[in-house]
Amino acid sequence: MAIILGIESSCDETAVALVTTQRQIIAERIASQTEAHAPYGGVVPEIAARAHAEKLAPMIADVMAEAGLDLADLDAVAATAGPGLIGGVMVGLVSAKALAMAADKPLLAINHLEGHALSPRLADARLQFPYALLLVSGGHCQILQVDGVGKYRRLATTIDDALGEAFDKSAKILGLGYPGGPALEQLALTGDARAVPLPRPLLKSKEPHFSFAGLKSAVLRAKESGEHQNADIAASFQHAAIDCLLDRLALSLDRCASLPALVVAGGVAANTAIRSALEGFAAKRNMAFSAPPMALCTDNAAMIAWAGAERFITGQSDPLDVSARPRWPLDPDAEPVRGAGAKA
């Protein structure tokens, strides 16, 4: 059994965790920055980086103390090396480099998206490669074929907004504050999902990609019209988003080899309505369905430590001069698509 220290600092969550190669989370800490960013309605990179720098070292010490471990007891140190807000990523990666050097342990520079992609395997030992992955978060909305650690084939991506971003911006339009995604989900429970005629961008399109910018704009128009209740707009938005996810998934999966399981990961995977719809979709296609526990959906260090564990098992490590990366696609060979999706 190997013990991996994981560090996550790619956005507005400072997180540290100790995870074993036997899928045990020994200890973990997560410090949210929600209150610091709330007055601005979104994440301010400078504030985020400063908070990571202030909180990270004490959190590492707390996690190690709780586990009763010294640096010498670690087998490797893993940290998010991108993609993300470069200031925060650098804080975490530099800290990991220092620890790895001091302890003479391997360094594992982890792609944040790979952390999400592999997180269901931390909670579900039965989940084997290959599987289809719907990765939905504030910055990314992709469908991937996961063939193994480091082996990803992108089937679809968003050409503009990610779904998590559309949730947050729609919530802001409705006056729900920050972070808006969970608040919108709760409000939707009290609304009529068919009350507001919102569009389904790219529905039935022959290209498999996503688009949510038009849906977000339609939410703004519905709000400004004064003709609809906020709860109905929220419910209709969520319903439209689910329709888009299922339609794009069906097209993408029809175009690739049969895969035994459908996995959802990323912050939006915590949405219970989306989970339920995806589970039903998988059942109709005779696919197993897997989603990580809610705590592993949002940004966390356990998933980074686990991705490090998966790589450590295969004998991988990274040099101490590895660079932080604001952009880092899981499938660098994927064909560019029109719009912002080219960066994913």
pLDDT, tens digit, 9 for 90 and up, residues 281-318? 999 999 999 999 999 999 999 999 999 999 999 999 99
What would you measure as the largest C-alpha separation in the chain, in angstroms? 64
| pTM higher than the cut 0.85 | yes
The Cα 237–Cα 243 span in angstroms is: 10
pLDDT at position 184 over 50: yes
Mean pLDDT of the chain: 95
The Cα 311–Cα 184 span in angstroms is: 37
191 phi and psi, to 5 degrees?
-110, 175
pLDDT digits (tens, 9 = 90+) for 204-228: 999 999 999 999 999 999 999 999 9
**Token representation of residue 226:** 């004064």
The full set of domains in the chain, from first to last, is 3-117+296-330 (3.30.420.40), 129-291 (3.30.420.40)
